[in-house]
Chain A
C-alpha cells in the first residue's frame, strides 16, 4: 500500500462544477503540500497545510491530521484548471501521491 493515496486518479468535469480531490496518507507528517502541474510544465505549489483550512481564490484546501486526510476543492471550475494535482506529505523528506489528472471541459 502506498504511503500517500490520491483519488480519483482521473477526473473530468464541466466548466463551473465544484471539484474535490482527496489525499490520504499513512505516515506522520509535519505538513502536507498540494501541487499543480500543467502538461509539459513545471510544478507549482498551491498550498502548504499543517492544520485546518486555507483558501486562495477559487481553491480551498483542508486537512484532518487525526484522520490523516486532506482535500483540495476547486469552486466554479474553469478549463484553465485542467492540470495534474499532486499531494505530497512532508516528513523531512517528501512523499508524493501519484497525482489526479483533472480535465475541465468548456
Chain B
C-alpha cells in the first residue's frame, strides 16, 4: 500500500471557480477525515466519514463546501464559488477504527489551494 494519496497537490484558481480535491485512503481504512490548514496554524476540522457515511461536518463550513465518499473508499471535497479566504492546505487522513477503539492516523501530503 502506498499510503494516503491526495490529488491534485497544488491548485491555483480564480475567485468564483469551483475546485475538487480527491483523497485515496489506505485500503480498508474505514475512517476518512478532511482538514484545512493555513500557514502557521494547526489543522482545522472540516468533516469525516465512517465508510460512506458522513458523520460530522464542521459548523464553520459554509454550504459552498461538500464532501462525498460514495463507495466508502476514495473521497472528494468540492468547494464551489471559491473565495480568497479558502486558500489553504487541504489535508486528508485515514484510519482503521473498530467500535470505540481509535486507530493510528495516516495523513496525505495535502492539496494546496490558492485562490486569486
Contacts and interface: CB of A to CB of B under 8 A. Distances in A.
Are A and B associated in one complex?
yes
Interface residues of B, number: 23
Nearest to A44: B107
Given A43-B43, A96-B44, A96-B45, A33 B101 contact: no
Contact of B102 (A44, A50, A86, A97): A50
Contact of B105 (A45, A93, A98): A45
Interface of B: 33, 35, 41-45, 48, 55-56, 91, 93, 100-110
9 contacts: A45-B104, A45-B106, A48-B102, A88-B105, A92-B55, A94-B35, A94-B93, A94-B105, A97-B42
Given A90-B102, A98-B41, 10 more contacts: A30-B102, A43-B107, A50-B101, A86-B43, A88-B43, A92-B56, A94-B45, A94-B48, A94-B93, A96-B35
